[in-house]
Each structure stands twice: as structure tokens, then as C-alpha cells.
Amino acid sequence: MSVDIKIFYFFNNLAGKSAVFDAAVVFFADYLQYALLAIFILFLYLGNYQNRQKLQIFLTVSVSMLIARFGVTNLIRFLYPRPRPFIDYQVNQLIPEGINGFPSGHAALFFALAAAIYFYNKKWGAWFFTAAVLMGLARVTSGVHYPLDILGGAAVGILSAFAVFYFVRKIKAIDSENQ
């Protein structure tokens, strides 16, 4: 048995033993995403940034998330379809999901969010990274992802955010040279 599957079973075997624990796992795996998006909007609204900076942060985060989730993740899933754990093994599945799980779309989306925020605000970015890690662990515990699905999604999200941030900085540098 591979290390990926052993780690998966370590976390997944925690599910199904306590209704309270399972409810917390389902919240982190399926509903934390809505709270994170609301917190991001509040972060922008209440943040000490100029309106132009707020727009730049919003666009950097949004484009990073879209590229990570709907571009790179879908391309990898098309080229390398890896079934989710509940397809191949007997698991404690707490939430319903589709067939292919590598890389994790949730991890790609929310690690892109965390990384893009981190480029602008290290403190807030660290909190969003923590939330993304909790979401990833909950998705493994809930039986819908292997740990490598989460790590793959995290890599996709972070690299997408870095590429978008780098591109935005290049455009900003060129724009300031032309003025």
C-alpha cells in the first residue's frame, strides 16, 4: 500500500466515529469555502488600501483562482484522470463528489486565494493558508481526496497565483515606465 493511501486511511478512519466530529469535517470540507470568500470581501472592504489597490488585489485573486481551478486543474484532470478514493476503496465518505479528484479543485482554488492574498498582506495570507490546509485535511478525512490530490491542488493554486502576481507586477512596471 502506498504512503498516499496509508495517510488517506489514517485521516479517513477518524470519520464515522462521532457525529460532532463528522459535522465539523463536513463544515471544513464543504462550507468553509463560503466563509473564506466572505472574509476575503471583508478584508478588501475594510482593508487599508486605496481603491486602485483594492481592485488590483481583487483581480489578482480572482484571476488566480479561475486559472487554478478551471484552467490548470481541469487540464490535468483531462490528461491524468485519477479516481477519488471512494471509487476504488471502502471509505467513510461524508460528502458527495464527482469521479476525478486529482488535483483537488478546492485546494487549487483556495491555495490560489491564500497565495494571492499573501503577496499583498503576509498576515492575512497566513490565515488564509491555514484555512486552506484545514479544508484540505477535511476533504481527505471526508473520503473524497487522497493527500496527493490536496498537495497537487495546493501546488497548482500557489503557482497560478505566483504567475498572475508576477504578470501584474510586470504590467505595472511597464505602465509606470510609460508615464
Residue 176 has pLDDT above 90, yes or no: no
pLDDT at residue 167 is higher than 90: yes
pLDDT band at 153 (very low <50, low <70, confident <90, very high): very high
pLDDT value of position 173: 78
pLDDT of residue 98: 85
Q: What angle separates helix 105-120 from helix 122-141, to the nearest 10 degrees? A: 170
Dihedral angle at the C-alpha atoms of 49, 127, 150, 14, nearest 10 degrees?
-150
* Distance linking the first and last C-alpha atoms of the chain: 60
Write out pLDDT tens, residues 22-55: 999 999 999 999 999 999 999 999 989 999 999 9
Question: What are the helix (H) ranges across the chain?
Answer: 3-12, 19-26, 32-46, 51-66, 73-79, 85-88, 105-120, 122-141, 147-177
Read off the pLDDT of each residue in 53-80 and give the average, rounded to a whole number.
96
- Nearest Cα to Cα of residue 140 among 3, 2, 14: 14
Is pLDDT above 80 for 175?
no
pTM: 0.92
Q: Which of 114, 110, 177 is nearest to 150 (CA)?
A: 110
pLDDT of residue 179: 67
